[in-house]
Structure 1
Amino acid sequence: MSKIYTAKEALQKLEHFCAYQERCHDEVVSKLYSLKMTTEEVNIIVVQLIEGNFLNETRFACSFARGKHRIKYWGKIRITNELKARHISSTNISLALKEISSEEYFETFENLAERCWNSIHENDTFKKRKKFCDYMLRRGYESDLVYEKVKELEQK
């Protein structure tokens, strides 16, 4: 049987949950509902977490964008879509994307593109191009960047 939490216990649990890793409002709300909290309790606890600076949507968005770009090498389109899926405001999304400098962005793009192109062992040029473009677009890089890069890599 699952434990029934009081609002105070749930707040402490969520403070730890938010302190461990940046969270968005959606994650916190679903966690609270999984602890069998009522809508009223959820709203009160979310407000307390925001006031205690445990929950900050802007901080979450910036941290998310930096991490996904530096660790998973995601492009801006994928980061934007993932943040939208978490109901992050467009203002916070813009701020988050500013966390990635254009030099860092293009350097990551170039390195990923070179590595990807060299790892595709395909004799058919058309298939190799398609695999490369699909991969880079799935990673969330802009199509014009990807298509320019594929032309450049084919020339080599």
Structure 2
Amino acid sequence: MTIKEALQKLEHFCAYQDRCHQEVVTKLYSLKMSPDEADIIIVKLIADNFLNETRFACSFARGKHRMKSWGKTRIINELKMRHISTVNINLALKEITPEEYETTFNELSQKCWGSLNETNSLKKRKKFCDYMLRRGYESNLIYDKAKEFEQI
């Protein structure tokens, strides 16, 4: 595959959905491109604004919070796995307003607590806390919410 063909293929790949550098590099190697050719293509994608790590981080954070109700901890960990810089991670987290975050957390915790059919209060609390921690919410928020539910 020539550089021009690979560039065209990756422009479509990046235009379809925001991508991080790691995803593009993986795609380039799957197309059997050499490291030098990959560098040329990546520079061109960045110059033409097909590849933008800040834009990727912001849309990733917004999307995962709004669509999958992920908390900040999970979003941070997922972005770190994709080798996104701390600066871009902090910018991405600013995309989620505190009001929106609190609303999502409250709705998700209500739904989860209501769906648990556990009679033992300690087991119910553990299941609730484990679920919310997996979703990436901060432990202090979760434990305060669990205490609040237990008092009702």
Q: TM-score, normalized by length of structure 1?
A: 0.97
2:145 maps to which residue? 149
CA distance in 2, matches of 1:115, 1:64: 24
Q: How does 1:24-103 map to 2 (within 5 A)?
A: 24-103=20-99
Q: SS of 1:148's equivalent?
A: helix
CA distance in 2, matches of 1:44, 1:35: 14
Structure 2: which 5+ residue stretches go unaligned? none
Deviation at 1:102, TM superposition (A): 0.1
Amino acid at match of 2:38: V
Q: Would you identify which runs of 4 or more consecutive aligned residues in structure 1 move more than 4 Å?
A: none
Question: Is 2:19 the partner of 1:16?
Answer: no
Deviation at 1:149, TM superposition (A): 0.2
Aligned counterpart for 2:120 among listed residues 124, 130, 134: 124
Structure 1: which 5+ residue stretches go unaligned? none
1:133 maps to which residue? 129
Deviation at 1:100, TM superposition (A): 0.2
CA distance in 2, matches of 1:124, 1:154: 11
Count of residues in Structure 1 that have an aligned counterpart in Structure 2: 152
CA distance in 1, matches of 2:112, 2:43: 45
Amino acid at match of 1:147: Y
Deviation at 1:94, TM superposition (A): 0.1
> How high is the sequence identity, in percent, across the aligned residues?
71
Q: SS of 1:40's equivalent?
A: helix
CA distance in 2, matches of 1:45, 1:153: 54
Root-mean-square deviation (CA), in Å? 0.3
